[in-house]
Amino acid sequence: MPIDQPKPRFAPAIRRMHWLIFSLVLLAYVFINLFELFAKGSPTRANVLGAHYLVGLAVLLLILPRLALRLRGGRPPVTPAPPRWSELLGKLTHVALYAFLLVQPILGVITLQIEGKPVALFGMTLLPSFVSQPDRALGHRFEDIHSTLGTVFYYVIALHILAALWHHFGRRDDTLKRMV
Ligand code: HEM
Ligand code: HEM
């Protein structure tokens, strides 16, 4: 009788990175949706915004190490193998997600820099503004792109999560098990 081989999974560091970055992105969305509940000029509003910046910066710091780990660790095959269209759609979505994780925080940093605003939390400056002449109009243009991209990725992330659930509960393959 054949002995069951352990199923291949993503390397532990890649799995940890996936769920850590997922939590940080989730928090970034939670904080940005919460800050407007607090009065303009209040310390709580500033701190909730500061928390958005901080978790966003953490994503920026982690994304290159994550990509390096992934390039070294590879991607284990899915069993049973999904149809070609689904593999292609998955690849496209993953490339888009990686690009988002890199570009979105950079756009946020550029916005703050151009507007001459530091990243601060509880009165502590974590990233000063290096721009001597702020340009609010240009800053708003970058902020608009950052906001639009943030909105578009609600849908891309939702598609990604639905796909993971479809693989697990619909196709009953090991796509999700490889990442937990
Ligand atoms: C993965 C990381 C990030 C995500 C998912 C994200 C997402 C978002 C979203 C969805 C909005 C728009 C909210 C709205 O228009 O209702 C927003 C606003 C903003 N984000 Fe981010 N962001 C991230 C990282 C950052 C970083 C690193 C910074 C700066 C250090 C930043 C600075 C800003 C600023 C300045 C705004 C405008 C806030 C305002 O309305 O005053 N973001 N972000
Ligand atoms: C902010 C939310 C998320 C982001 C940005 C994100 C990002 C990513 C990225 C970039 C990959 C590609 C990994 C590779 O290099 O092959 C991936 C894979 C994966 N993610 Fe997520 N993810 C998120 C949330 C989730 C959630 C909530 C689930 C589960 C319900 C999930 C399940 C998976 C699975 C199963 C894979 C492996 C897919 C495969 O190899 O075909 N992700 N994720």
Asked if residue 134 is part of any domain, the answer here is yes
How many separate domains does the chain show? 1
Beta-carbon contacts of 44 under 8 Å, excluding residues fewer than 6 positions away, are: 38
- Residue 27 belongs to a domain: yes
Percent of the chain with pLDDT over 70: 97
Does residue 1 lie in a domain region? no
> What tokens appear for 160 in the block?
């990604």
What spacing in Å lies between the alpha carbon of 11 and ligand 2's midpoint? 14
Q: Is residue 159 part of a domain?
A: yes
| Domain contains 3 | no
What percent of the chain is modeled with pLDDT above 90? 95
Supply the range of the domain harboring residue 175. 12-179
Residue 170: C-alpha distances to residues 82, 164, 173 (Å)? 12, 10, 8
When pLDDT is cut at 50, 70 and 90, the band that residue 6 belongs to is low
pLDDT for 118 equals 94
DSSP codes of every residue in the chain = -PPPPPPP---HHHHHHHHHHHHHHHHHHHHHHHGGGSPTT-HHHHHHHHHHHHHHHHHHHHHHHHHHHHHHH--PPPSSPPPHHHHHHHHHHHHHHHHHHHHHHHHHHHHHHHTT--EEETTEEEE----SS--HHHHHHHHHHHHHHHHHHHHHHHHHHHHHHIIIIII--STTGGG-
Q: What is the distance in A from the centroid of ligand 2 to the CA of 7?
A: 18
Decide if pLDDT at 2 tops 80. no
What ligand is nearest to the CA atom of residue 152? Answer: 1
Per residue in 25-73, pLDDT tens?
999 999 999 999 999 999 999 999 999 999 999 999 999 999 999 999 9
Q: Which of 55, 94, 176, 180 for mutating ligand 2's site (highest number of atoms within 8 Å of CB)? A: 94
Q: Tell me the whole-structure pTM to 2 decimals.
A: 0.96
Distance 52 CA to ligand 1 centre (A): 7
In a domain, 76, yes or no: yes
Above 70 in pLDDT, residue 1?
A: no
- 105 C-beta closer than 6 A to ligand 1: yes
What number is the average pLDDT over the span 77-87?
97
Give domain status of residue 33, yes or no. Answer: yes
Pocket of ligand 2 (CB under 6 A): 18, 22, 25, 70, 75, 90, 94, 97-98, 101, 157, 160-161, 164-165, 175-176, 179
The verdict on residue 70 lying in a domain is yes
In terms of C-beta density within 10 A (0-12 exposed, 13-18 middle, 19 or more buried), how is residue 3 classed?
exposed
Average pLDDT over residues 85-110: 98
